[in-house]
């Protein structure tokens, strides 16, 4: 009975965290896809500055991620994730009320603070802190929820804009975040009293991993994760331009882009069914291989665009799992949340800056899209080589 109750409690927590991920990604990463045209039409602000608000939020999130990780390590997810929902609600409300670009930017700064405490990295850290090595399966389940965020929130946001305007949409999302606070607070377990009162013991006196080899693996994994996140950010923002270089019209590009989401979810389902007994470095390597195949096909061939994006989407899906499961396997529960915060920082900063650099490249060269495709494919192949090296070294370390 205890085990069954524990399983029921885990399921309730995953459902709550999954709803949080859907709403949080929908009101941050995917918000401006729908709201930006309405904001520009209503305010007259330049589109580049409207879109730049999200880049500002991602940059802020990267800077505060290590501090969020340390707080989860010390106090557990119960003290951080519900507070993150409150801050996100405040940021969205400020966004909806913004009458000037300065207030609009301030809203995104507040949202950036909340993103560090509510998105995948924080949720993974909370699960690892609460469930230890058993959290890998829960991390995979959580990414299944996240994979439906754009599918559910884009049409929902469009309806809100039609009914209430873009400001009303922000206020509705703020209210939904507030509705999550109390259930999350109750579902997430508090840390043991002696850990909450002894931060030095909880966080460790030095680096989370004592082994020099494990530290080297974590550094290499951080590099891999940063490259992978950069690839995803650039492709997400510039997919239409990249497909335009393959002579794909707008309607076709949208149809091809729709293949990415189901491919992510499909890869995560396969990992859940068949990957639980393998070291998560195998998922990392499989994701790197799929991403390299997808971007290489997209660069080399006009005939296999659909297959290329299926491979790419599968790679993105497995990357999300590896981002949470690999550090847990290398470090263990103790120190995991701190490591997650440290790993998130560089990848988030690069996610904010890389699409801007890519846009400069596209504007500066007549064949900028072809050059960008070549760079993306080369970077994906470098990351594949790094993933193979991590797999070989990690197996020796954890044997």
DSSP letters along 62-122, please? HHHHHHHHHHHHHH-GGGTHHHHHHHHHHHHHHHHH--SHHHHHHHHHHHHHHHTTTSHHH
Q: What is the model's pTM?
A: 0.87
What is the location of CATH 1.20.1250.20 in the chain?
2-202, 206-398
Q: What is the pLDDT of residues 237-280, one digit of tens each?
A: 888 778 877 777 767 777 777 788 888 889 988 888 887 778 89
- pLDDT (mean) for 268-297: 90
Q: What is the pLDDT of residues 143-187, one digit of tens each?
A: 988 888 878 888 899 999 999 999 999 999 999 999 999 999 888
pLDDT (0 to 100) of residue 6: 66
The tokens for 43 are: 């305010």
Domain covering 2-202, topology: Growth Hormone; Chain: A; (1.20.1250)
Neighbour tally for 335: CB within 10 Å: 22
Neighbour tally for 370: CB within 10 Å: 14
206-398 belongs to which CATH class? mainly alpha
């Amino acid at each position: 009975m205890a085990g069954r109750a524990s399983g029921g409690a885990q399921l309730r927590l995953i459902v709550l965290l999954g709803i949080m991920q859907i709403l949080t990604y929908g009101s941050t990463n995917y918000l401006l896809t729908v709201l930006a045209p309405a904001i520009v039409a209503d305010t007259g602000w330049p589109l580049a500055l409207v879109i730049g608000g999200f880049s500002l939020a991602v940059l802020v999130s990267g800077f505060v991620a290590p501090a969020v990780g340390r707080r989860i390590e010390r106090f557990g997810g119960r003290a951080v994730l519900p507070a993150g929902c409150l801050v996100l609600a405040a940021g969205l409300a400020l966004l909806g009320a913004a009458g000037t670009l300065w207030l609009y930017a301030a809203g995104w700064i507040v949202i950036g603070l909340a993103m560090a405490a509510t998105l995948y990295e924080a949720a993974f850290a909370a699960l690892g802190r609460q469930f230890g090595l058993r959290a890998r399966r829960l991390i995979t389940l959580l990414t299944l929820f996240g994979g439906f965020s754009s599918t559910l929130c884009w049409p929902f946001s469009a309806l809100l804009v039609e009914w209430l305007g873009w400001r009303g949409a922000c206020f509705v999302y703020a209210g939904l975040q507030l509705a999550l606070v109390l259930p999350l607070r109750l579902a997430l377990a508090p840390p043991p009293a002696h850990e909450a009162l002894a931060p030095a013991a909880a966080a460790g006196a030095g680096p989370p991993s004592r082994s020099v080899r494990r530290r080297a693996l974590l550094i290499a994994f951080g590099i891999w994760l940063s490259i992978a996140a950069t690839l995803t950010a650039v492709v997400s923002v510039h997919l239409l331009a990249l497909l335009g270089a393959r002579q794909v019209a707008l309607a076709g590009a949208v149809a091809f882009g729709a293949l990415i989401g189901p491919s992510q979810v499909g890869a995560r389902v396969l990992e859940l069914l068949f990957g639980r007994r393998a070291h998560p470095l195998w998922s990392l390597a499989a994701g790197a291989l799929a991403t390299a195949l997808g971007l290489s096909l997209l660069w080399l061939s006009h005939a296999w665009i659909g297959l290329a994006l299926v491979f790419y989407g599968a790679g993105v899906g497995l990357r999300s799992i590896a981002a949470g499961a690999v550090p847990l396997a290398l470090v263990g529960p103790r120190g995991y949340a701190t490591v997650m915060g440290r790993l998130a920082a560089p990848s988030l900063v690069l996610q904010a800056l890389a699409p801007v650099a890519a846009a400069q490249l596209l504007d500066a060269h007549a064949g900028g899209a072809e050059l960008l495709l070549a760079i993306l494919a080369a970077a994906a192949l470098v990351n594949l080589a790094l993933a193979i090296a991590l797999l070989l070294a990690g197996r020796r370390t954890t044997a």
